[in-house]
Chains A and B, each alone.
Chain A
Amino acid sequence: MKWEDGTGGDVAFQRQVTAQVPLEYESVSGDRWAPGIETLGCRCTGEAKRRSATVAPTKPSVSARRVPDRALRRRRLYLKACLDDLERVRNAVDDPILRGNSLADVKNHLQQLWELVEGDPQSEAFEEMVNVLQIAFCIESAEILTPRQLEGLWSVLVEMHHDPEIDDEAANDLTRELMRSGVDVFREIG
């Protein structure tokens, strides 16, 4: 580097460019321009802080979710198929063959759903609910199910289709809903 003796007044001003450090987070407070510096408080001027306060709380980012979107889409697909089959079971009161076939379809789709989540530690609650539904449909003919039970099973499938990433609390609500509609939820144990 060449040494220049001068006040600097005649040297063309060179704008200093801040080093662009890749960040792993999205900051709106201004701290992103000084990574690694620890201060007691926020280094922002106020404007950014004000803007940060207006950031609406949103759902956890896609990367923070435990079950990938692709898996959730597949779950929805099978659940939608179950709903279509169950609708045929409910509507085909005068057609025992269609009813029987539709019931077999529900069982098949639930089995595929089970195979999708079987033994997955991240999908415990969902796996448990699929097992519960399979037990509920473990019957010889659709006539065994009362309209109230069918209604309860339909409603649970709709809720699972709406949000296939269920947690323990949601699974408890769904189990209670089935029990209230007269479905013998834990008959597989006895």
Chain B
Amino acid sequence: MSFVKLDDGHRPDSSEVFLDTSIHCCFHKGETLGLRLRWLLRLFFWRGSSTYSMTEYGNVILATAQYYLRKLRELKSVARVQEHLAHVLPPQHHERRTWAFSLIQTLGRTEEERTLRAVASLRRLLKLGTSAVEAHCDPPLADGTRCHWGKTGLQRRRDGEYIWKTPNCRSTNKACNVDGFFVDHRETFESIKKEIDGLDVDLLTDELRQFSRVIGDALAAPSILLDYNRGCKLLADALIAVDSKDFRSFATQNYKESQVLTKVLGQRCYYLPNNPEHGVAILEDDAANAAESRGA
């Protein structure tokens, strides 16, 4: 399997595409990625996603917005926040260095105005919450897991501040259908596990190993998935992938995991690398291509 860069003449196999959580996060990753993302989305008439992506979007985007907002209020300047992120944050927190506030630098004439605008933008992003996932897609979202946290994770404090709460679901207090979803798609999850277990060591990632282990545990007791930290969090991308099984095209930024998952689910995998030089890529089956060219 290898990724091939797409050209303007590409025609997708289906009219619909499923957006992975990483794609929802791409909408906040700057202009160069945004342009390629829009180009990719224009190839399809219908965009779908999963309600489980709302929880992941909250964990990534809303939590980051909350962090930036807190820092902006502490340091009272966008420039100082960026300086803090570049020079003070240790390398292990590199994921915090996500936003550049590029346009705010253009719009704001003084540092005070730039800071006010950055605060207004982050506040709007937080208040909009996970419904941004729905707004990027055509309704309804796939809702196999009936994940409730995506809709309740954003809370408003007494002082009016919006905060994203990290999920703390417990198997003793069932609030979703993740275990039922697993049971309904047991065979698909078994196939995923089988595929991962058969992979070469150099293709295995920590996340794929984790999928295999959690699927193995859940096959024995599906209710373990109800516990967020020990269950569904560790299987998140696989749950979203199985929720996308009705779609023939799958767009993602996590190619290492998605190339395995889309193979099992029989989907075309569209990969959007961060590096603009690589454009937009599609996963091609080398063996099938070779057979086709031999036949031709």
Query: Closest residue to B37 on the A side, CB-wise?
Result: A184
Contact status A175-B100, CB under 8 Å = no
A179 touches B124 (CB 8 A): no
Name the B residues within 8 Å of A128 (CB-CB): 120-121, 123-124, 127
B107 in contact with A135 (CB, 8 Å): yes
Report the bound CA distance from A186 to B100 in whole Å: 12
> A159 within 8 Å of B by Cβ?
no
Is the CB–CB distance between A188 and B128 below 8 Å? Answer: no
B132 CB contact (under 8 Å) in A135, A179, A190 = A179
Q: Is A84 an interface position by the 8 A CB rule? A: no
Report the nearest A residue to B100, measured CB to CB. Answer: A190
Instruction: Report A150-190 CB contacts with B as 1/0, cut-off 8 Å.
Output: 00000000000000000010011001100110001111111
A138 within 8 A of B: yes
Contacts A119-B116, A127-B120, A168-B127 given; indicate if A188 touches B27 (C-beta within 8 A): no
Q: Which residues of B contact A132 (CB under 8 A)?
A: 121, 124
Chain B residues, CB < 8 A from A127: 120
**List of B residues within 8 angstroms of A129 by Cβ:** 124
Q: B99 within 8 Å of A by Cβ?
A: yes
Asked whether B131 lies within 8 Å of A172 as measured between CB atoms, the reply is yes
Residue B102 at the chain A interface, CB threshold 8 Å:
yes
Contact call A190/B28, Cβ cutoff below 8 A:
yes
Q: Is B135 among interface residues, defined by CB-CB distance under 8 A?
A: yes
Q: For residue B127, which residues in chain A have a CB less than 8 angstroms away from its CB? A: 125, 128, 168, 171-172
Would you call B113 and A189 a contact (CB within 8 A)? no
Which residues on the A side are within 8 Å of B122 (C-beta)? 189
Q: Does B190 contact A (CB under 8 A)?
A: no
Contact across chains for A176 and B124 when beta carbons are under 8 A apart: no
Q: How far is the CA of A124 from the CA of B106 in the complex (A)?
A: 22
Contact B135–A180 (Cβ < 8 Å): yes
Known interface pairs A131-B124, A189-B28, A190-B30. Does A118 touch B113 (Cβ–Cβ under 8 Å)? yes
Tell me, in angstroms, the Cα distance from A188 to B117 when the chains sit together.
Answer: 9
Contact-size category for A? 20 to 34
0/1 interface trace, chain A 116-134, chain B, CB 8 Å (1 if under) = 0011000011011101101
Residues of B within 8 A of A184 (CB): 27, 34, 38
B103 touches A135 (CB 8 A): yes
Chain B nearest CB, measured from A167 CB (Å): 10
Contact A176–B135 (Cβ < 8 Å): yes
CB within 8 Å for A131 and B117 given contacts A187-B103, A190-B100: yes
Is A131 within 8 A of B128, CB to CB?
Answer: no
B44 at the interface (CB under 8 A from A): no
Q: Which residues of A contact B28 (CB under 8 A)?
A: 186, 189-190
The docked-state distance in angstroms from the alpha carbon of A168 to that of B161 is 12
B230 within 8 A of A: no
**The residue from B34, B102, B124 contacting A171, defined by CB atoms under 8 A apart:** B124
Chain B 208-232 residues near chain A, CB threshold 8 A: none
Residue of B27, B38, B124, B128 with most partner-chain A CB within 10 A: B124
Contact pattern, B 12-51, Cβ under 8 Å of A = 1, otherwise 0: 0000000000000001111101100010000000000000
Known: A119-B116, A127-B120, A184-B34. A189 touches B125 (CB 8 A): yes
Closest chain-B Cβ to A21's Cβ sits at a distance in Å of: 37
Q: Is B101 positioned at the interface, with any CB of A under 8 Å from its CB?
A: yes
B27 partner, pick from A134, A168, A186, beta carbons under 8 A: A186
**How far apart sit A187 and B33, CA to CA, in the bound complex (Å)?**
11
Contacting pair B136 A179 (CB below 8 A): yes
Instruction: Please name the 10 residue pairs, one residue from A and one from B, whose CB atoms are nearest each other, closest first.
Output: A188-B103, A190-B30, A179-B135, A128-B124, A131-B120, A176-B135, A128-B120, A189-B99, A190-B28, A188-B104
B contacts, CB < 8 Å to A? 27-31, 33-34, 38, 99-104, 106-107, 113, 116-118, 120-125, 127-129, 131-132, 134-136
Interface pairs (29), CB distance under 8 Å: A118-B113, A124-B120, A124-B123, A125-B127, A128-B120, A128-B121, A128-B123, A131-B120, A135-B121, A138-B103, A138-B107, A172-B129, A172-B131, A176-B131, A176-B134, A176-B135, A180-B135, A184-B34, A185-B124, A188-B107, A189-B101, A189-B104, A189-B121, A190-B28, A190-B29, A190-B31, A190-B33, A190-B34, A190-B99
